[in-house]
Amino acid sequence: MFFYISLIITAVWIIAFIAKLLIALRVQKWLSSPQRGPKVPRTKLPSRKTKYFFSAAERSFFEVLTLWNEKYGYYIFPKVRLADVFYLAKTTEHRQSFFNKIKFKIKFNKIRSKHVDFLICDTENITPILAIKLDDSSHTRRNRKERDQFMDMVFKDAELPLLRIPAKDSYSLQELSKKINALIIIFYDLSSKY
């Protein structure tokens, strides 16, 4: 009788072990599957690829900027968010109260939602050295002027030069070279390179 009881207990243990193993394998397969849960037919998102990455003015400017860069060899990045270039330093004042934290977030959100058209970086550390913004006719509106003033202040406070260029159909290489080189020389004293 004792023999039969021990045989039954051993069988139960073996069955329990196999059941745990099967459950573990099933859970692992479920976790590694790209779609967890019940299978639902995927609906196509309404996202579409833009036909042109640049506007006509941005494309024209980029071509001239690329010609300028052949001499200097910087990295040129188009359409860069300010949040990827700047951060707001957390001072003691920002950590003291809940309301200061809210003000801090509001200031950062103003930076996060804006971009520059081109960012020129050095090739050694990919450090930003100059930002370029093409200003179209909308920048004459009052609300855009306020946004532009805020952006100018951000660049000035972070000591990164911002070059504003009126958007147009074509650009002069000589004129653009003078403006860019003058700003870089003023900010970085790189007169030997230019």
Residue ranges of the domains in the chain?
Answer: 1-30, 56-188
Cα angle 121, 51, 138; round to 5: 65
The per-residue pLDDT for range 63-78, each reduced to its tens digit, is: 999 999 999 999 999 9
Please give the residue that has the higher pLDDT: either 142 or 70.
70
Nearest alpha-carbon partner for 78 in 148, 150, 134, 136 = 134
Residue 141 vs residue 120, higher pLDDT = 120
The whole-chain average pLDDT of the chain stands at: 82
pLDDT, residue 160, reads 95
Dihedral angle computed from the Cα positions of residues 69, 70, 73 and 76, in that order, rounded to the nearest 10 degrees: 40
Among 91-95, 125-129, 146-150, the least confident range: 91-95
Range in 11-15, 94-98, 105-109, 150-154 with the lowest mean pLDDT:
94-98
Confidence of residue 42 (pLDDT cuts 50, 70, 90): confident
Residues in the chain: 194
Three-point CA angle 103, 107, 112, nearest 5°: 140
| Ramachandran quadrant class, 37 (left: phi over 0; alpha: psi -120 to 50; beta: rest) | left
Higher pLDDT, 27 or 73: 73
Q: Which pLDDT score is estimated for 2?
A: 65
Indicate whether 109 pLDDT > 90.
no
- Give the long-range contacts of residues 140-144, CB within 8 A, separation 24 or more: none
The one-letter code for the residue type at 3 is F
Tell me 124's DSSP state: T
Both structure tokens of 15: 């069955």
